[in-house]
Structure formats: structure tokens, C-alpha cells
Structure 1
Amino acid sequence: MTRRCELTGKSVLVGNLVSHSNRKTKRRFLPNLVQVTLMSEALGQSVRLRVTTHALRSVEHRGGLDAFLLKSSDLELSQKAREIKKKIRKSGEAPAEEAAAA
């Protein structure tokens, strides 16, 4: 399983660990991934996703999983998240923000 957020697409970054003597060795910056269960109001079911803690804050700020998925681009979402987004659109119970955008 790749270390990639399913909602924002954040993944591992590579950089240098610089010692006191200024030697550089490669290191990896890992995203803070957590396994969470989020509730979708439009589908009426819970969804398990592997997301970063930053994405969790963004989901709460945008008003829930449904609103977050409808606003986000398909390019940064995982395959699983894109399928959930398609189901939400198909259900017809999209939040008021999507109706205002259209």
C-alpha cells in the first residue's frame, strides 16, 4: 500500500538530513496518515479511508465528506474516493453548495 492520502493526494517527500558537519544524507518525509471512518450523509453509510490529519481538518472545515469530495478535483482523489464521489452525485442528495455552484 502506498503512503498516499486518499483525499488530498499528499505522499512521501524526499530531502536531505544535514548533520552538524554539514554532511548530507537522503531521508524521507512521511505524511501523517491515519485510518479513519467518515460518515457520508448522502449515502447513509460510513466509509473507511486512509487520510492525513491535515485532510481530516479540511473535511471538517468544508462541512463533511460529501461536500469535500464534491469540491475536490478527481486528479488528487484515489480510485476509492472517486467511486464514492460518483455514488454521491448519483444519489441526488448533494449538499446545497453543489446546487449553488451549478
Structure 2
Amino acid sequence: MARRCDLTGKGVMVGNNVSHALNRTRRRFLPNLVNVTLLSDALNRGIKLRVSAAALRTVEHRGGLDAFLLKQSDDTLSPLAQGIKKEIRAALAA
């Protein structure tokens, strides 16, 4: 399973450990991923996602999963989130 946020696509970054003597060794910065079930008002069901803590705060700030996905542009969303966004738009149009 990839270490990638299902909503924003935030993934692993790389950098250096720098010692006091300025020796550099490569390291990985892993995103803070959390398994959550977010409720969709338009779809009337829960959706299990693996999202970063920052994305979870943003979802709560914007008023839920539906509001977050509808406001977010498609190029910043992961493919899974784009599919959920299409489902929500179809449910709201009906």
C-alpha cells in the first residue's frame, strides 16, 4: 500500500539527516496518514479513506467531505477523490 493521502495526494518526501559534523545521510519524511470513515451527506453513506492529518483538518474546516471535494479543483485531487466527487455531483443533480 502506498504512503499517499487519498484526498490530496500528499506523499513521501526525501531529505537529509544532518549531523553536528555536517555529515549528510538520506532519509524519508512520511506523511501523517490516518484511516478514517468520512460521511457524505449527498451519498448517505460513509467512505473509508486513508488521509493525512492536514487534509482531515481541512475537511472539517470546510464543513464536511462534500463541501471539501466540491470546492477543491480536480488537478489537486487524487484519482480516487475525483471519482467520489463525480458521484457527489451526480447525486446532487438528481
TM-score, normalization by structure 1: 0.86
Contact 2:7-2:80 within 8 A present in 1 as well: no
Report sequence identity in percent: 63
CA-CA distance at 1:76 after TM superposition? 2.4
1:75 aligns with 2:75: yes
Alignment partner, residue 100 of structure 1? none
| Equivalent residue pairs, number | 93
CA-CA distance at 1:25 after TM superposition? 0.3
Query: 1:1-102 counterparts in 2 under 5 A?
Result: 1-92=1-92
CA-CA distance at 1:14 after TM superposition? 0.6
Distance (whole Å) between structure 1 residues aligned to residue 71 and residue 38 of structure 2:
17
CA-CA distance at 1:42 after TM superposition? 0.4
TM-score, normalization by structure 2: 0.93
- Of residues 50-59 and 77-86 in structure 1, the stretch that sits farther from structure 2 once superposed is 77-86
CA-CA distance at 1:31 after TM superposition? 0.3
Quote the RMSD (CA, aligned, Å): 1.1
Structure 1 moving runs of 4+ over 3 Å: none
